[in-house]
Amino acid sequence: MLKFLSILLVSLLLLPAVLAEEAGYIDPPVGFDAKVDGVTYGKTVLRSYDSTTTGRKRKVMVLLPPNYSEEKQYPVLYLLHGIGGDENEWAGGRPTWVVGNLIHAGEAEEMIIVMPNIRARENDRANASDMYTPAHFQAFDNFINDLRYDLMPYIEANFSVAKGRENTAIAGLSMGGRESLYIGLTMQDTFGYIGAFCPAPGVLPYNVEKGLFPTADFKAAEGYDTYILINAGKTDGVVGAWPKTYADTLTANGTVNTFYVTNGGHDFTVWKHGLYNFARNIFK
């Protein structure tokens, strides 16, 4: 009897962790986003590419995996910034260390992380004077064309990339989360994994806006097995309930997804948390 109770107690203590794993997320350990002695990290390189979409050269940060070799082919994560950022914004989320530590621990696959400027227009400077206007939003939505016709061909021609939707992921924070949902569900033959960390509104109809998708069309296409992770901050006063609305709509439309809420607001506390959990669940 005592042995049975002991086994039962251990099982109950382990249950939340097991359920969390099954749901696709866990709480990161202390120091998950810090540089650790003895760990080999990847190298970030700044490149530029010709954009037929915007008619100019555009910058992109590329984080190569540890010990990157042209003899291997690597899956690719396209990691998108927010409304006031550019190709440099994700440096605040420490992807070199977050993903590098996961790779070192054997909890994530080696991958190339591409961090572009997703403001796809001629003037693509961060913190534009018209930041909260329809024209600025449309520049972000136009990134789907820059990505498809300009950036992805450049990455595939200049880096050792494993192609196919099973090797291609897209994720982003805030406005980048909005674009990840839009692009990922529009280009389902390209992306097998979608991450949206505190995603901004605009993908679904709201107020008088029609949205990028009709509500009934916001779903994974039949025959596609797509991993989708959405998270939100408990005190996020910027995007409010939209992350949960997106997750609930996907569920109502028959698309399995992982949604969770964590401590933090509209900030890198939550966005790094999302990156950690997304990186450990993709390319498996």
pTM of the model: 0.92
The SS3 of residue 260 is: strand
Q: Where are the domains of the chain?
A: 29-279
How many CA atoms does the CB half-sphere of 96 hold within 13 Å? 17
Determine contact, residues 84/126, Cβ cutoff 8 Å. Answer: yes
CA distance 38 to 27: 23
Q: What's the mean pLDDT in 127-142?
A: 90
The yes-or-no verdict on residue 132 having pLDDT over 90 is no
Question: What residues are paired with 258 via a beta bridge?
Answer: 229
Q: Is the confidence at residue 274, as pLDDT, over 70?
A: yes
Which residue shows structure tokens 């061909």?
A: 153
Dihedral over Cα of 272, 246, 218, 89: its sign: negative
In order of 98, 194, 214, 219, the CA distances from 223 in angstroms are: 32, 16, 20, 12
Q: Is the pLDDT confidence value at 270 over 80?
A: yes
Summarize the confidence of residues 66-76 as an average pLDDT: 97
Q: Does 107 or 284 have the greater pLDDT score?
A: 107
Which pairing describes strands 44-51 and 76-80: parallel, antiparallel, or unpaired? unpaired
Report the alpha-carbon distance of residue 230 to residue 246 in Å, rounded: 8
Give dist(CA 115, CA 81) in Å, integer: 8
List, for residues 146-194, the tens digit of each pLDDT value: 999 999 999 999 999 999 999 999 999 999 999 999 999 999 999 999 9
Q: What percentage of the chain has pLDDT greater than the value 90?
A: 85
Torsion of Cα atoms, 116 then 118 then 124 then 129, to 10°: -130
pLDDT band at 250 (very low <50, low <70, confident <90, very high): very high
- The DSSP line for 140-185 is HHTHHHHIIIIIHHHHHHHS-B--SGGGEEEEEETHHHHHHHHHHH
Query: Which one of 3.40.50.2300, 3.30.70.980, 3.40.50.1820, 3.30.930.10 gives the CATH number of domain 29-279?
Result: 3.40.50.1820
Give the model's confidence band at 23: pLDDT under 50 very low, under 70 low, under 90 confident, else very high: low
Show Cβ contacts of residue 197 under 8 Å, excluding neighbours closer than 6 positions.
171, 172, 173, 174, 177, 230, 231, 270, 271, 273, 274, 275, 278
Amino acid 22: pLDDT: 52
> 165: burial class by Cβ within 10 Å (0-12, 13-18, 19+)?
middle
Mean pLDDT of 16-29: 64
Give the pairing type, strands 168-173 and 76-80: parallel
What's the pLDDT at 123?
A: 87
